[in-house]
Amino acid sequence: MSFETILKQPLNRRGFLGVLGSASVLATMGAARPARAAAARVVVVGGGFGGATAAKYIAQWGGAGVSVTLVEPNARHVSCILSNLVLNDRVNLASLGFGYDRLKQRYGIEVVADRAVGADPVAGKLDLASGIALDFDRLVIAPGIGFDPMPGLDTPEQQMLVPHAWQAGAQTQSLRDQLNAMADGGTVVMSIPKAPYRCPPGPYERACVIADFLKRKKPKSKLVVLDANADIQAEPLMFRNAFTMLYAGRLEYVPNAMVTRVSFEGRRRKAWVSDGVGGEIAWTADVLNVIPRNTAARLAHDLGVVNVNGRWAGVNPLTYESTAAARIHVIGDAQGTGLPKAGHIANSEAKICADAIVRMVNGWPVDDAVRMQSVVANSACFSPITYDTASWLNAVFAYDPATGLMKRVDASFGEAPVRSKENYEHMMKWAARLFDDTFA
Ligand SMILES: Cc1cc2nc3c(=O)[nH]c(=O)nc-3n(C[C@H](O)[C@H](O)[C@H](O)COP(=O)(O)OP(=O)(O)OC[C@H]3O[C@@H](n4cnc5c(N)ncnc54)[C@H](O)[C@@H]3O)c2cc1C
């Protein structure tokens, strides 16, 4: 059964989402309060894990006092979560697509199929590519990530030949098809961008999925992992163990290797890496998967809210309101609060932001002192290590008054001691619950 089929089942046949409710949202919504004269207008841009969750909870908690419009150009969001499993055919890409009908029908959200291109926060106007302008009292943007340009990957055709597959969809399918078409004995090269990037364990999980696929289907082949970072960025023990034991002789891990350009040589591709002394080393591949350095999506740059290292949008993590522009809130991977860029975290941030916005538009108190004590975001992440085993990590983040950022609570951090089939089953259940909480 596809994930979307599961979501179509009546609410009472699906269990409640225990762990997903753990974003600290102050459960006073819906209590008897003086109502506003006219519904406040909240526009949410981006129907991924951050935006869809925010739209849903603002509509649910705001009730008749709030009208919610979701702007998203695509009819369906394709989940990056579980998309590495498309590469080894454990999951079908179509099953990771989620439409917006349930958000419309269940919560009365208006969905506008368009792209946001600009905003005037003072006038409260959002400009869409079609030329329409939407009025807002509060604007939430959750546009996800963009990429630094990669020389050699200038055209859409080149980008499809060397896909990043870091936004799920056609590129994911292309990478899967190229891996399947590669002759046994071929070389796959993949790159990992400098942190912070979307999904800290994601590239290492991808390395495991590809290495496992090669081991089973193309045993004479090899995977090279070029990591721009000095070391593995998440679950280092688990992944180092997998790289050096499970995939010994099949997977070569190269730290401090930042790909700076790509070139094509007949059917083969080359990833170029600095040698540290002014020259370059070329890694030749039959299949090349380069993930360029991540930054906030273009919309965040265009709205002028990117003010953290020129890459991410600074926000007050108690409300997710931008530190650069009042009335604009930024959630999900585009934010720069110290939180990891993960779908589970985006879902968690969305609820904190929804709670703050419902309070703000109703004129209810948004008490920083209370929120500093109570705002918590959490993340669970599962990573497939082989065809049927997985690992997990679990982290809680709390507000740090010293920096105004979110900081990991070390006492609440945990990682799977071993990979297991049971973890793999939990991964599928966890993902189904997250999809449900976001899109249904
Ligand atoms: C391979 C892979 C595996 C992953 N695995 C996990 C995992 O196991 N667990 C986990 O928690 N996270 C995982 N992630 C990370 C997760 O997918 C992201 O953190 C999450 O998608 C971020 O949500 P978001 O809402 O910020 O952006 P997205 O989900 O990317 O959504 C952004 C949306 O905004 C829309 N948009 C962009 N610009 C505009 C515009 N101008 N106007 C209108 N709409 C716009 C886009 O069309 C898109 O639908 C994984 C990522 C990858 C790549």
Ligand 1 contacts CB of residue 299 (under 6 A):
yes
Helix (H, G, I), strand (E, B) or coil at 278: coil
Q: Which ligand 1 atom is at minimum distance from the Cα of 50?
A: 25
For each of the chain's 440 residues, which pLDDT tens digit applies? 566 655 554 444 333 333 344 444 443 444 444 445 689 999 999 999 999 999 999 999 999 999 999 999 999 999 999 999 999 999 999 999 999 999 999 999 999 999 999 999 999 999 999 999 999 999 999 999 999 999 999 999 999 999 999 999 999 999 999 999 999 999 999 999 999 999 999 999 999 999 999 999 999 999 999 999 999 999 999 999 999 999 999 999 999 999 999 999 999 999 999 988 889 999 999 999 999 999 999 999 999 999 999 999 999 999 999 999 999 999 999 999 999 999 999 999 999 999 999 999 999 989 888 899 889 999 889 999 999 999 999 999 999 999 999 999 998 899 999 999 999 999 999 999 999 999 99
Q: Which of 13, 1, 14, 2 is nearest to 436 (CA)?
A: 14
Enter the tokens of residue 342: 């993960």
CA of 430 to the centre of ligand 1 (A): 17
CA of 138 to the centre of ligand 1 (A): 22
Q: What pLDDT sits at residue 399?
A: 95
Count of residues making up the chain = 440
Ligand 1 contacts CB of residue 46 (under 6 A):
yes
Alpha-carbon gap, residue 390 to 427, rounded angstroms:
8
Q: Which of 141, 149, 79 is nearest to 115 (CA)?
A: 141
Residue by residue, DSSP assigns 216-245 as HH-TT-EEEEEESSSS-SSSHHHHHHIIII
Helix (H, G, I), strand (E, B) or coil at 92: coil
CA of 291 to the centre of ligand 1 (A): 15
Helix (H, G, I), strand (E, B) or coil at 138: strand
Enter the tokens of residue 437: 């909480």
Helix (H, G, I), strand (E, B) or coil at 209: helix
Domains belonging to the chain, first-starting first, are 3-9+33-146+295-366 (3.50.50.60), 150-292 (3.50.50.60)
